[in-house]
Structure 1
Amino acid sequence: MPTVARPKILVVDDRDDTLFAMESALAPLGYPMDRASSGDEALKTVLRGGVALVLLDVLMPDISGLEVAQYMTRVEQTQDIPIMLITGAGQDPTLASKAFELGVADYVVKPIDPWVMRTKVRYLYEMSRRLHALRERLRAYEHRSEEFRGPASLPVEDRPLPRPA
């Protein structure tokens, strides 16, 4: 049986130094990671599949993190991937409210304590994997039940009457 690749954490930021810092902080978790330096690159990566969690910078030059999150929540293939929005713009209740309205899993303001980030990432990553496994089990169950169901039974009024003995 082939081994299935573990899903990745996608770290998205337009600054290389921030990408490096986040990857370094998350390295002790041992999860596979990928990086994207733009919203467009992030969208392409999540659409290819194999992503369990997205750490997403809010302020990026081309497509903002909010726009990426909005797109991901509208597409069936990506709507269940948890998103942790990260901002360096300081506390902004309006931005936080908008993020949670979009359905992001978490909203974090830089600088981020590495221990806190690892704890949040571990939780979101494992929950994403469990949700994916449950969905796969449900699909397998539905597929098996369709195989055993056979042709649809006739309504009562269309069934032939039994012959008297």
Structure 2
Amino acid sequence: MKILVVDDREDNLFAIESLLRPVGRPVVRARSGDEALKSVLRGGIAVVVLDVVMPRMDGLEVLAYLRRLDHTRTLPVVLMTGLGRDHDLATRAYDLGVSDFLVKPVDPWVVRTKVRALADLYAENQSLRARLAALTDRHANAPAAELPGTLGARLPRPPGGTVDHAPSVRGVD
């Protein structure tokens, strides 16, 4: 799975892509919110590193759109801003469900560590969801007799192939 870096400035894209190269996942770029959404909807993205200030569609609008869709609701998004510390902006971002909010200049080690952890967790989560869906499908299509713990399940025969019945107990007159 890939890391998507979104910024309207080429120099920022280059810097963040270079910073994330050691994470060991392919890095793809988008220069606008629209491009970012198209990349995410094509699939294969494990985490989005998204600039806040962009023309036409800013980072918060992209984040809000991603959170409205079922299949992108849990996609980790890291917002980055060069606007400095802004409590209101950070509050809005966290209210929308951002995974992290970073103020430039950023510590490269911190960014790499956070992005790697978020991407690994998301990929593992997707893998578990796929396994669960496969198990659910398999059990939904299986006859009841084959499902453990269901009525009609076949019980194993005891050794020797016979079943001993307990003697009946009669009451004394």
Q: Flag structure 2 segments of 5+ consecutive residues without an equivalent.
A: 145-173
Equivalent AA in structure 1 for residue 59 of structure 2: G
TM-score, reference length from structure 1:
0.85
Please say if 1:38 is aligned against 2:35: no
TM-score, reference length from structure 2:
0.81
Match 1:139 to one of 123, 133, 140: 133
Please say if 1:126 is aligned against 2:120: yes
**Using a 3 Å threshold, how does the CA distance of structure 1 residues 144 and 111 change in structure 2: closer, same or farther?**
same
- Structure 1 runs (4+) greater than 3 angstroms displaced: none
Output the CA distance in 2 between the equivalents of 1:78 and 1:17.
Answer: 28
SS at match of 1:23: helix
Please say if 1:86 is aligned against 2:80: yes
SS at match of 2:117: helix
Please say if 1:49 is aligned against 2:43: yes
Please say if 1:64 is aligned against 2:73: no
Q: Flag structure 1 segments of 5+ consecutive residues without an equivalent.
A: 1-6, 151-165
Residue 4 (structure 1) aligns with:
none
SS at match of 1:77: helix
Please say if 1:24 is aligned against 2:21: no
Equivalent AA in structure 1 for residue 73 of structure 2: Q
SS at match of 1:52: strand
Match 2:70 to one of 52, 73, 76: 76
Shift of 1:149: 4.1
Output the CA distance in 1 between the equivalents of 2:66 and 2:81.
Answer: 18
Number of positions where the alignment pairs a residue of Structure 1 with one of Structure 2: 144
Give the RMSD, CA atoms, in angstroms.
Answer: 0.9
Question: Percent identical across equivalent pairs?
Answer: 54
Superimposed CA distance per residue, residues 132-163 of structure 1 (whole angstroms, 9 cap, x where no aligned partner): 0111011011101111146xxxxxxxxxxxxx
